[in-house]
Amino acid sequence: MNELTIEVDAAEVGLDSERLKRIDAYLAGYVADGRLPGWLLTLRRHGRLAHVARCGSRDLEAGLPVTDDTVWRVYSMAKPITSVAAMMLYEEGRFALGDPVSEFIPSFGDVRVYAGGSDLKQVTVPAVEPVRIWHLLTHTAGLTYGFHRAHPVDALYRAAGFEWGTPPGADLAQACDLWAGFPLLFQPGTEWNYSVATDVLGRVVEVASGQRLDEFLADRIFRPLGMTGTAFWADPAAQPRLAALYSPGPDGKAARLDAFGRGALREPRMLSGGGGLVSTAADYDRFTQMLLHRPGSPAGELDGIRLLSPRTVAYMARNHLPGGLDLETFGRPLFAEAPFRGVGFGLGFAVLLDPVPGKVLASAGEISWGGAASTTFWIDRETDLTVSFFTQLLPSSTHPIRQQLRQLVYQALTD
C-alpha cells in the first residue's frame, strides 16, 4: 500500500506538465543548498494521482534516499485523524458536541481561568461555563502548549514537563488531569489558542469508546482505510524506513536532531492524538481522499468503506469560530500550522474563508493542516485537488514552504 503510482496523465485532469516541473525544481533547491534533507510531494486531481515528486535523503548521514515507503513523523497532522475518530463516536450518539468534557474526564469539572499574576503566583477566577467537546475540536478551550513561550501558563506547562514532550511515565489520562489543574488562558469559547486540546480529545475518544486510542484508530480508521504504515511509533520493521529528524543549524543547513527524533523509535506511554503519529505519504493520501467529496464518491468514504457521513464531513469543514471570524481576529498571534488572515477553524483543521487577505492562491473552503516538522496537506473542494508534502525539518516556521507550495501548485492548473 506504500507505492505511489501515477494514475493519470496530468493534462487529462487540467494540469500542465511543464508547469508541474516548476514545483519540483523549486523544492529541489531546498535540498541543493542544504536547507532540507529531502522531501516527497503528492498531488491528486479528480481523485486520481497525477503528480508525485521526491528529492534528497530521508537520512543524510546514512545516504538513504527518500522513497515511497519512507516513514515520516507527521506530528500535528495527527489532529485531523483524532478529530475524525471523535466525530465517528459523535455519529454513534456517544456524546453531543456541547457536552462538558468533565463527563468523560472528571478533573475538568472544576477548571479555573488565568486572570493575572505570573507563572509563580497566578490570580485565577472560575470558568463561567464548562470546557465542552466542541471547544477541544476547535482549540477554543483555553488550553495551550508549553513551547509557545507567550503566556505565564505556558511556563506552568513547561515546568511540569510539557514542552515538546510529556513528564516521564505519564500516560494520557494522567496528562489530562495535569492539564486540567493548570489555569485556562481564557474563558472557554472566547478565543482560539493552538493547544493540547486534541490530546484531551483523544482521551475523550478512549473513555467514550472503551478502547485505548491506538486500538481505536487502528481498528476503526487505519485498517479499514488500508493505512498500514500509520501508528504511534515506528516499530522495528518500520525503523529502517523512518526518516531522520533535522533542525536548522547555525549555517541555515539542516542539522540532525536525534535527541528529539528518537522518540518515534519506542512505543509511547502517552498516546498523543494531537501530535504522536508516524505515517507514510501513501497512507496520508488515503486519509485525505476519504475526506474529499466528489461525484460518485461522497466525503467520508473510500473504496466502499465509510467512516463518516458526507454531512458530518461538510459540518467539520465549516468555520466554527464564533461570529464567523478568522484566526487573525479571534486567535492569538502564536505559532500555528496555518496562516491567520482569512482562515477560520473547523472541527479538526483550518478552513480557508477568503484567500485574498492571506495573499495566496487558493480556494475558499479549502481545509488543511500541517505538522511541526514542516509536513502539510490541503484539500481544495472547489478544484477537486488534494496535495500532501512530507519532510522532516523542525520547526515548521523555519521556511515559508507551505505558502510557496500553494503558489507553485495553483499556477500549474489550466482549468
Range of the domain at 97: 84-209
Q: Which helix (H) or strand (E) holds 59?
A: strand 48-59
* 243 within some domain: no
Q: Each residue of 51-73: pLDDT tens digit?
A: 999 999 999 999 999 999 999 99
CA 116, CA 62: separation in Å to the nearest integer? 51
Residue 397 confidence (pLDDT) = 81
Residue where the block lists cell 530521508: 58
**In this structure, are residues 380 and 362 in contact, taking their beta carbons and an 8 Å threshold?**
yes
Backbone angles phi, psi at 289, to 5 degrees: -65, -30
Residue 208 confidence (pLDDT) = 98
Collect the ranges in the chain with pLDDT lower than 50: none
Listed in sequence order, the residues at least 6 apart from 247 whose beta carbon sits closer than 8 Å to its beta carbon are 254, 255, 257, 393, 394, 395, 398
C-alpha cell at 354: 477568503
Q: Each residue of 60-114: pLDDT tens digit?
A: 999 999 999 999 999 999 999 999 999 999 999 999 999 999 999 999 999 999 9
Q: Each residue of 249-305: pLDDT tens digit?
A: 999 999 999 988 999 999 999 999 999 999 999 999 999 999 997 767 789 999 999
Q: Is the peptide bond before 152 cis (omega within 30 degrees of 0)?
A: no
Q: Is 305 exposed, middle or buried (0-12, 13-18, 19+ CB in 10 A)?
A: middle
Residue 3 confidence (pLDDT) = 83
Alpha helices in 52-148 (DSSP H): 78-91, 133-138
* 219 within some domain: no
Percent of the chain with pLDDT over 70: 98
Name the domain count of the chain: 1
* 239 within some domain: no
Report how far Cα 128 is from the mean position of its chain's Cα atoms: 30
* 272 within some domain: no
120: helix, coil or strand? coil
* 399 within some domain: no
* 270 within some domain: no
* 189 within some domain: yes
Residue 338 confidence (pLDDT) = 59
DSSP state of 243: P
CA 5, CA 14: separation in Å to the nearest integer? 18
Beta strand 301-302 pairing with 367-370: unpaired
CATH number at residue 158: 3.40.710.10
Backbone angles phi, psi at 59, to 5 degrees: -145, 105
Residue 1 confidence (pLDDT) = 59
Residue where the block lists cell 515548521: 396
Residue 339 confidence (pLDDT) = 65
